[in-house]
Amino acid sequence: MIAAGQPAPEFTLRNQDGEKVSLSDFRGKKVLLVFYPLDFSPVCSDQLSIYQEVKPEIEAKGVQMVGISVDSGFAHKAFQEKLGIDTPLLADFEPKGEVARAYGAYIEKVGHANRSLVLVDAEGTIEWVHESPTPLEIPGANLIFDALS
Amino acid sequence: MPPAGPDDHRKGEGPELIVYADLGCPHCASAWVEISKREATVVFRHFPVASKHPRSPALHAAAEAAGLQGRFFAMVDALYADRGHVDDPHLWQRVERLGLDLERFEADRRSASIAARVRRDFESGIRAGVTGTPAIFD
């Protein structure tokens, strides 16, 4: 897993609406990358639902939050609608898991990302990383607020 | 997580259980049956996850409004007992069955103070690391 202090690997992925989103688009403000395994899986659903509830508070601290999984943009769109969330979701779809691999967040034997949080500062350097011990464990939103305080 | 205090909703006697629950959550409804059987002081804290259960904020506000008329847990029990009927007319039926002042209930449940009260519990749960409901601390 990538570590704090390292430069955040640049990427360009398509979001749920098919629009290209690059890490450099966020230069000048902090961005929280939420790597998660799969759309519609129970734990991921719970995680993103919880984060949606505190998204205004996270954004009030000058942080944009984006989710990243290997699902396609179409799946992301449906997932957003199902959950009632508006967190942008980026499709690390093809090459599969390329961005997750660049961050050390890809689990090869299962073919999806782990469950981790990567806070990138306004200059593009990794400020904080949290990797869940297992994909079954949701990082509480309290960890995010602790990292931002 | 803040310890239980005088502002918390509590019932029963015995060892303290702090329960963060979502009134729209089916798992919470099932757990509530078991929790209610425990010989414990149950402290209920609001944890509505609106994105999963869009009706939850309204239900939590309804419970708080009932609480202002002394029937908080009665409303919680009534909401969990019949999750399929939680629209406004169904809330009004519960209000009537519980003998509450409907006009006051309606005004209270839409108040900013009740919304803040629910949000305060929710944020305490977030700080405590709650990531799903029910979350029970003993």
Q: Which CATH superfamily is domain A12-148 in?
A: Glutaredoxin (3.40.30.10)
Beta strands in A57-148 (DSSP E): 63-69, 89-91, 106-107, 112-113, 116-120, 126-131
pLDDT of residue B22: 98
A117-132 pLDDT, tens digit each? 999 999 999 999 999 9
Instruction: Indicate which CATH number applies to the domain containing B88.
Output: 3.40.30.10
Residues of B in Cβ contact (< 8 Å) with A85: 51
Span A81-103, average pLDDT? 97
- Put simply, whether B128 touches A (Cβ < 8 Å) is yes
Q: How many helices (H) and strands (E) does chain A have?
A: 4, 9
Please say if the pLDDT value at position B110 is more than 90: yes
A44-79 pLDDT, tens digit each? 999 999 999 999 999 999 999 999 999 999 999 999
pLDDT of residue B50: 93
- Percent of chain A clearing pLDDT 70 (strictly above): 100
Mean pLDDT of chain B: 96
Give the residue among A111, A92, A88 at the shortest CA–CA distance from A100. Answer: A92
H/E run at residue A114: none
Q: Please tell me which residue in A2, A44, A48, A68 is annotated as part of the active site.
A: A44
B54 vs chain A: nearest CA distance in angstroms? 8
Q: How many helices (H) and strands (E) does chain B have?
A: 6, 4
A14-36 pLDDT, tens digit each? 999 999 999 999 999 999 999 99
pLDDT of residue B1: 83
pLDDT of residue B136: 96
**Domain assignment present for B36:** yes
**Domain assignment present for B10:** no
- Put simply, whether A32 touches B (Cβ < 8 Å) is no
Instruction: Show the domain range for B44.
Output: 15-137
ipTM above 0.90, yes or no: no
Q: Provide the domain count of chain B.
A: 1
